[in-house]
Amino acid sequence: MKIQTLAIIFVLIIMPISVVLGEYSAMQRKIFAIEQTYDSSLITSTDDALKAFQINTFNDTTTGITDRKMNIIEASANAFFNSMEQCFSMQGYSKEDLHSYVPALVYTMYDGYYIYSPYQNITEQNGTINLGSTGKDYGFKPYVYYSCRYTSGANNDFVITYTLDNYITIQGFVKGAMVDKAGYLLTRANAKDKLGVFIDSATNQVYYNGVPIEKESNLTENLVESDGTTIKQYKYIKLNGTKYYLDEGQEKIFYILGGDRVEQAIKAKDEETYAMYKNAIENNISAIDYYKKAYEFTLWVDNNLSSITVNNAVPINNLQDKNIGNIFDGNYDSPGSNFNTHRKDVIRYAIESNLSIAIANFNNYSGSTTDFQMPVLKETDWDMLQNEISIISFLQGLNMGGKIYNGYTVVANAKTEEVINEGKIYIATSDGYYHKINDKHLLKNSDYMKTYTVKDGVLDLDFEIRTDGATNQKYRNRTELGCYTSIVEQSNVDSTCDSIYEYLTKHKNDIYENALIKYYTALGREKWGRRFNSLILTSLDEF
C-alpha cells in the first residue's frame, strides 16, 4: 500500500478522535473552572457566615446567654444564604433556589452542635396532629450534645458529655449511686515539681507543672466613655463567660451586651450583691479555684471511673476502633492521652451520625433527583472540628454540565472566648508588647528578660480592636502591641514542637519563671471564668 494511502487512512481515523478528545478536554476544563468557582463561592459564603457570627459576639462580654447566642447563629445562617445568592446571581439562582442544594449547615459549639436543615412543620389542633408540607420550612434542629453512654455491670449506667477541651459532665448511676457532676480534668501530680496539678497540704499552695499559681488583684481593661473619646481603665472579673466591670465612681457593676453597658448591681439598690462582685474583682482567685476544683473533680473520676474503657461505650461498634485502654487513666493533659483520643472520637461520631441522617433525609425534601450523601471529610477538617468552634457548609446537586457538584467547607472561629487552649494565652511585658509563650525572648538566658519584666498573662482576644456600641468608637481593651518577631513574623518562636503543650513540657526549665507563673495563672483564670456560675456568689465568702 502506498504511503499516501496510509496517510489518508490515518487522517480519516485520527482526525475524528482528535476532535472528540479536544471537545472532551475543553468540556473538562470548563467543568473544572465551574467547580473552582463553586468551591470559591462556598468558601466565601461560609466565611461571611463566620464573620457575621464573630461581629455579633465579639463586642459582647457575655458568652453564656443562650437566647442571644441562638439569635446570633440564626443571623449567621441568614448571612450565609444572602452571600450565596450574591455569589450565584450570575448563574440565575435565587436565595430560595439555593436552599434546594444546601442539605445542611452545621455549627459546632463548645459542648454540642446545631444542624440547619429543612424540617416538617407539625402542629396540633383539638388533639389532631397536622403535618405541614415537607421541604418548605428551614431552621435549626434541637441542640445535640457530644455525649456517650457507658454501662458496666448492674451498677454503672451513665452518660458523659464532652466538650472541645477538658471539661466534662457526668450524669447517671455510678457504682449504684445517682450522680450529676461536672468539672475539668487535669493530670494530678504527686509532687509540686512534677507535671500536673499538685496541692501542698501544709501551705495549701497550688502548683501546676511545677509552677505556683497566684491570686490576682485588680485585673484591668480599657473601655470608651460616653463622650466617645475618653478611654478609662476598669477593674473586672470574668464569671460564667461574662466580664463584670467595677465602676468605683458610680459604685456599680456592669457588663457589655452588643457593645452597650448593662447594669448588674448598684450599691445604692443592692449593697450586698455589689459588695460580693467588688470583692471578687479586687481579690481574684479564679485561677486557684480552677486548679483546686479540677484536682477534686479529677480525684473523684480517678476513684470511680478508672476501669471504664471504650468497650463500655454504647453503641460500642462505632467507638472501639482504637483499642486505647482505660479512658480515665489519670493522664488528661496530653493531646494524645486516652481521654483526649476518646473525647475526639465521641465528638466525631456525634456529628457524623446525625449529619449523615440529616443529609440523607434531604432527599425527601429537596425535590431534586440528586442522591444527597454526606461526603468524606478530611482528617485535617476533623481535627479542626474536634478542637475549635466551627461552621460546616454543604453544597450538592448543582449541574456543572456533565458532572454534579458535591462540595463542603469547614471554617474555624478563632475569635471566641468559649474554647480556651494553650495557644490562646499571651504574655504582656513591660516594654508595651505581648508575646506567645514559645517566644525565645521569654527564655531564662535571653537578654530580653534582663531588660524587661513580665506584666501579665492575657487572653489573645483581649488585644483585639473592639467597637463601643453607644459611641461607635474603636478601642483596645489592652494597650500592648504584638511583638513583631513573635506574633507577626513568628521568626523568633520555637518551631521544633508540634504543640504548645509539647513545648512547655520539653522546655519548662528553660522558660523565665515569672512568664510561666503568669501564663498558667492566666490559663486557669480564663478557663474558670468561662464556666463559673455567676449566680453562685456565696462561694466568694472565702475571701
Contact 302, 328 (CB under 8 A): yes
Cα torsion angle, 116, 121, 124, 130, sign: negative
* Distance separating alpha carbons of residues 255 and 261, to the nearest angstrom: 6
Distances from the Cα of 304 to the Cαs of 299, 311, 330, in angstroms?
Answer: 9, 17, 12
- C-alpha R_g of the chain: 28
pLDDT tens digits for the chain (543 residues)?
Answer: 566 665 666 555 666 665 555 555 555 556 667 778 888 889 999 999 999 888 877 765 555 555 667 888 999 999 999 999 888 876 667 777 788 888 889 999 999 999 998 776 666 566 665 555 544 577 888 899 999 999 998 899 999 999 999 999 999 999 999 999 999 999 999 999 999 999 999 999 999 999 999 898 878 999 998 888 899 999 999 988 888 999 999 999 999 887 788 999 999 999 999 999 999 999 999 999 999 999 999 999 999 999 999 989 987 666 655 667 899 999 999 999 999 999 999 999 999 988 888 888 777 665 555 667 778 889 999 999 999 999 999 988 887 776 778 889 999 998 888 889 999 999 999 999 999 999 999 999 999 999 999 999 999 999 988 888 778 888 888 999 999 999 999 999 998 998 999 999 999 999 999 999 999 999 999 999 887 544 344 444 443
Cell numbers 497566684 correspond to 214
* Distance separating alpha carbons of residues 281 and 263, to the nearest angstrom: 16
**Stated pTM of the model:** 0.87
Contact 111, 161 (CB under 8 A): yes
Question: What angle do helix axes 286-305 and 513-531 make, rounded to 10 degrees?
Answer: 70
Distances from the Cα of 372 to the Cαs of 37, 187, 382, 520, in angstroms?
Answer: 21, 44, 21, 47
Query: Could you tell me the residue ranges of all domains in the chain?
Result: 217-284+420-542
Contact 419, 165 (CB under 8 A): yes
- Containing H/E element for 256? strand 252-257
